[in-house]
Amino acid sequence: MIEKPFVKWFDRKFDANIDIVQFDGILSRMEHFPAVLNQLLETCPKKIATIKTNGKWSVNENVGHLILLEDLWRRRFQDIKDGKPDMSPADLNNTATDQAFFNKSVLGELIKRLGDERAKTISLLQGMSKEDLLKKSIHPRLNQPMNIVDLMYFVAGHDEHHLSTIQSIIDNTMAL
């Protein structure tokens, strides 16, 4: 197996021309992500879940970050639906994640919270019409127009980025 080199999230490029016929498949990826994450983490010891290495987020902090972003995703989906020219900006410094003390939380509770927040996002997306899916707004960091499905693809990619990061944390910690 050839491993892909790790690419920092902010260095990634995204296709913003995803056909709306991909809606159901990407929605399914997003909907099932908390269960996939739970399966990976169901046996993760607390000691590993809260270890920070080289100033990087722990497993708990990665999951907490995903929880916090669900509100931003919903705002951005709503921005597009409402025809706003620009999507709501993100805190690119991730201040809320750094200040949330997620390492004091139980990992299983964080995963449940993520599932609850993601369910709200899925519900919002299921209520979108075909006309809504065709509308576009400018993504603030990427400075490119995106429709609902493009942003869903972006969110699913962000999920997978953190899944890979979490897997690396576990693998590297277990190897010690």
> How far apart are alpha carbons 129 and 148 in whole angstroms?
10
pLDDT at 97: 93
Contacts of 161 (CB under 8 A, 6+ apart): 9, 12
**pLDDT, tens only, 25-72:** 999 999 999 999 999 999 888 889 999 988 899 999 999 999 999 999
Judge whether 51 lies within some domain: no
Q: Distance of alpha carbon 58 from its chain centroid, rounded? A: 16
pLDDT at 2: 38
Judge whether 11 lies within some domain: no
Judge whether 114 lies within some domain: yes
pLDDT at 5: 45
Torsion region of 94: left, alpha or beta (phi above 0 gives left; psi -120 to 50 gives alpha): left
Dihedral (CA of 72, 168, 114, 14) sign = positive
**Structural domain for 90, as ranges:** 19-42+60-174
Taking the model in full, what pTM does it have?
Answer: 0.90
Judge whether 70 lies within some domain: yes
Judge whether 23 lies within some domain: yes
- Structural domain count of the chain: 1
Q: In the chain, which residues have pLDDT < 50?
A: 1-5
What residue type is 69 in one-letter code?
A: L
Q: Which of 143, 125, 136, 128 lies closest to 89 in space, CA to CA?
A: 143
> How far apart are alpha carbons 115 and 35 in whole angstroms?
8
Judge whether 96 lies within some domain: yes
Supply the CATH number for residue 77's domain: 1.20.120.450
Judge whether 12 lies within some domain: no
pLDDT at 104: 95
Judge whether 4 lies within some domain: no
Tell me the two tokens of residue 114.
């993520």
pLDDT at 14: 64
pLDDT at 62: 97
